[in-house]
Amino acid sequence: EMAEKQEEPSNTQNGEPDNTEEGEEKKKKLKREDLPPFEIVTGERLPAIFFKFQFRNVEYSSGRNKTFLCYVLETQGRESVTSRGYLEDEHAAAHAEMAFFNTILPKCESSLRYNVTWYVSSSPCVTCADRITETLKKNKNLRLTIMVGRLFMWEEPEMQAALKKMKSAGCKLRIMKPQDFEYVWQNFVEQEEGEEAKAFVPWEDIQENFQYYEEKLAEIL
């Protein structure tokens, strides 16, 4: 049984899931209705603890039910403008991938070219993959590269079909290598103020997990 259920909202915070009784009590108090229906959290840099938990390229990603999306958006017109930031989705009402198209790049001006790179904790769900495919088909001046930490529900035939469609619409889908995690760490993760930037510390199985997912993705595509 895959422990990966990214679709379900959860009140677990971004650390390891809270299984204490106190946590259960808190959860009862925090009924679903009390949660805002949807909130997009955007920011320059994400807290290190979120990165260490959510971006880990593990095979069984229990509790990792949010999507973190770090983006670099390069707009080429007379001058090139580059912006970067990150999005995380809350309460599963809409996903970070949708949020990017709804809030960061709601429309593509036909006179400009857009080069977008996403660094995402896991690959998109079927709905988001379809939205990406449609957006790319509509906007020929948009180039999208998605670097993912892990593949989400990749064994499902409809997920595989959705990823193939994304590829044929021109989306480049890549698995994050250790160097890519380091890039995100340096460019998108908060460093403690006043301290020297801490070096990225790769986790033990980072390389094997990268190779594992890369093989799976190659088989699918």
Which residues form the catalytic set? Answer: 97
Q: Hunting for tokens 């229990």 — which residue is that?
A: 62
Q: Which residues contact 118 (CB under 8 A, 6 or more apart)?
A: 69, 70, 71, 97, 100, 144, 145, 146, 147
Residue from 158, 144, 146, 157 nearest 113 by CA: 144
Q: Are 135 and 104 in contact (CB under 8 A)?
A: no
Query: Residue 39 and residue 151: Cα distance in Å, rounded?
Result: 24
Query: Residue 12 and residue 170: Cα distance in Å, rounded?
Result: 36
Query: Residue 154 and residue 177: Cα distance in Å, rounded?
Result: 18
